[in-house]
Amino acid sequence: MNKKVLILKPRLDLPFKKFGLEIANTGRLPDIRVHWKNFVDKLIEHHERQKDKVVVIEEQRWKFNNALPLLFSPDITYVPHVEKHNFKGLDNCRYYMQTVIPWLFTIDKLGWGGGASFANATYNVQDDEGKTFKRFQKRAEDGGSKFDQPDGEFVNHLGDYIFVPLQLPHDETIQWHSDVSVERFAESIAKWGARNNIPIIFKNHPINPGSLQHVKAMVKQYPNCLWLEHDLNIHSLIRQAKAVYVINSGTGMESMLHEVPVVRFGMCEYNHAAILGDIMNLKETYYKVCNADKDIMVDNYKQFYNWFVNLICYDSTNLGSFMKLK
């Protein structure tokens, strides 16, 4: 039976979030936005090949609301960059989002990242002998990342340090998928590191570094802490780290590719692949890091990548991956 499909497509020449005065980008779209275009194009093509009737509404992302599906009465509605709990859509809404691998997207009935229905799923997937993991590992070794990376390499004179790539305090993945704030997260780790003489490297976020200036001021009070801006390649910081501590950043996924312990303090799509940290008991958290079995850890990373890339994600460069849609 052919379906009526409504796709809400965000305008890519304007910010996704409401900031006030917004000026359209009349130049070339950034690569990270081109992937959104490609994803929607593939989604349209998939449904048209199924002989479905497709309606596309293109508007600023923040202007979409749950009245639109009611107006069109579709069998399925695709909604970008939000979740069921705040969009309050009907059960036939599906929420799509870009991942840290920018050409891969998720589509889910509840949301994305730590809010998705698959976030706590086990990695039930046919073994691919680590092939998917190795493919993305090669990309990481070559310096590939979601955001453009500088060429600078970190020269380690600190010894065994904890690397802490910070997230934006106002980011939705912090608001929706974490019980700990960025400020509390950073201060707790900085204090713990100072008490135990463990070096901590904090890295500012590349997109909106100004939003973390108050965290920078706090961190710089501690002599064991080093604050870095976006002037070094993040992969050089990850691969030399004792461990990577994140709330639920996509950098956690990238860090797995360097086979280092990843500790997460919030909810994310890689819940079962990372060590669960306790902000109230960082001693126990560090004990888990120091006693992690590397072979088991890396095998878990490989299973996660195989499951996430091949069963969960939709590849905006590969129409065939959309055949997973039910």
Same domain, 59 and 164: no
Give per-residue pLDDT as tens, 49-71: 999 999 999 999 999 999 999 99
Same domain, 289 and 174: yes
Same domain, 186 and 288: yes
Residue 175 lies in a domain: yes
Same domain, 286 and 229: yes
How would you write the pLDDT of the chain (326 residues) with one tens digit per residue? 799 999 999 999 988 887 666 778 878 888 899 999 999 999 999 999 999 999 999 999 999 999 999 999 999 999 999 999 999 999 999 999 999 999 999 999 999 999 999 999 989 899 999 999 999 999 998 888 888 787 888 889 999 999 999 999 999 999 999 999 999 999 999 999 999 999 999 999 988 878 899 999 999 999 999 999 988 899 999 999 999 999 999 999 999 999 999 999 999 999 999 999 999 999 999 999 999 999 999 999 999 999 999 999 999 999 999 999 97
Give per-residue pLDDT as tens, 98-131: 999 999 999 999 999 999 999 999 898 999 999 9
Same domain, 14 and 78: yes
CA neighbor of 311 nearest in space, from 276, 269, 274: 269
Residue 295 lies in a domain: yes
Q: Which of helix, strand or coil describes residue 11?
A: coil
Same domain, 145 and 283: yes
Q: Number of folded domains in the chain? A: 2
Q: For residues 38 and 26, what is the distance between their CA atoms, to the nearest angstrom?
A: 19
Is residue 244 within 8 Å of residue 256, measured between CB atoms? no
Residue 104 lies in a domain: no
Residue 314 lies in a domain: no
Element (H, E) at 251: helix 251-256
Range of the domain at 175: 131-309
Written as one letter, the residue type at 153 is: E
Same domain, 143 and 48: no
Residue 112 lies in a domain: no
Q: pTM of the entire structure? A: 0.94
Same domain, 168 and 88: no
CATH number of the domain to which 254 belongs:
3.40.50.2000
Please give the C-alpha separations between residue 107 and each of 95, 244, 271, 325, in angstroms, as whole numbers: 5, 28, 18, 9
At residue 97, the pLDDT reads 98
Is residue 229 within 8 Å of residue 196, measured between CB atoms? no
**Which domain-ending residue is among 76, 98, 120?**
98
Is residue 247 within 8 Å of residue 205, measured between CB atoms? no
Q: For residues 139 and 145, what is the distance between their CA atoms, to the nearest angstrom?
A: 8
At residue 21, the pLDDT reads 64
Element (H, E) at 190: helix 182-196
Residue 120 lies in a domain: no
Same domain, 40 and 136: no
At residue 209, the pLDDT reads 77
Residue 118 lies in a domain: no
Same domain, 64 and 157: no
Same domain, 38 and 141: no
Element (H, E) at 116: none
